[in-house]
Amino acid sequence: MKYMALIYMNPDNTTPPDSPEFGKMMAGYQVCNETYRKDGVYVTGDALQPATTATTVKVRNGRTESMDGPFAETKEQLGGFYILDCKDLDEAIRYAAMIPHAANGAVEVRPIMVFDR
């Protein structure tokens, strides 16, 4: 079953790219990526640009509306994702716990809906 691991972080607590902590964090992501590939669970994943670059789109009464920024006002914002092909939720949680931002943000694990074709 495929699971999406949604990585949330507080942009006010972002590790500066020129700091030693940033290098450690990125090394942690490299370990995740290598482990996921080695274990055969990696489907895809990527980081997202900051929420300040987002555009929210709504269609109301046939009219498309767009606005700058994310729809929800929250401290933690979606910063990236993985799609993992795991045997069950317990395995998906085990892999999600490896994501470095789980230590200071949050990782939401959600099964991907499968529709009959």
Q: How confident is the model at residue 62 (pLDDT cuts 50, 70, 90)?
A: very high
Tens digits of residue pLDDT in 8-42: 998 888 888 889 899 999 999 999 999 999 999 99
| pLDDT of 72 strictly over 80 | no
The pTM is what?
0.88
**Cβ atoms of residues 99 and 26 within 8 Å:** no
pLDDT-based confidence at 73, cuts 50/70/90? low
Domains and CATH numbers, the chain: 2-47+73-111 (3.30.70.1060)
Contact of 40 with 87, CB cutoff 8 Å = no
Give strand pairing partners of 111.
Answer: 3
How far is the C-alpha of 40 from the C-alpha of 22, rounded, in Å? 27
DSSP-derived letter for residue 23 is H
For 104, phi then psi, to 5°, come to -135, 5
Q: Is the pLDDT of residue 71 over 70?
A: no
